[in-house]
Amino acid sequence: MSRKPRLLLMTVALFGWANLCFSVSELNVDFADEEFARYFSNIQSASLQESELFLDNLNQHLKLKPAQQQTWLRFKVTFLEQIEQRQQKRLKLKEIKSLNSVDTLTLRSSHLETRLKETQTLLAVITPFYQQLDGEQKTQFDKVMQHLWFKRRNHR
């Protein structure tokens, strides 16, 4: 093999290997983000103290700046309040022995109204927080929260 084709082959091989390493590195970051998102999605079944720890870990994962902390705190407090309210509701529901059809639908309607109010409250708190995030933080936040929303929807 002459010198030119060998040099071309080495260049292509080296470039391809470097490109592969870059892709693997990107995959590792994506995998780590996915792992964190999966970890965070357990917040729904966690105790209030564990939920607060999950949120503190998310704060660190997002690398929030001091200027973002006020809207973050509003989001965190609202999120924890909603978790606490849901946990209290679950305990009350466990006490119910049986319901007739009308009571079941009434309870379901009440539950849906509560969920709508919670969603509207959370949206009002997330919006100003989300607007303060930079592009990378938004990507990370979206991954984590979408994993949470989808897990919740699929595991009812």
**Mean pLDDT of the 19-34 span:** 43
Yes or no: say if 59 and 72 are a contact pair by the CB < 8 Å rule: yes
Per the listing, tokens 């999950």 go with 54
Highest-scoring range by mean pLDDT, 4-8, 24-28, 42-46, 106-110: 106-110
pLDDT of 6 strictly over 90:
no
Yes or no: say if 54 and 75 are a contact pair by the CB < 8 Å rule: no
**Mean pLDDT of the 41-47 span:** 60
Amino acid letter, residue 14:
L
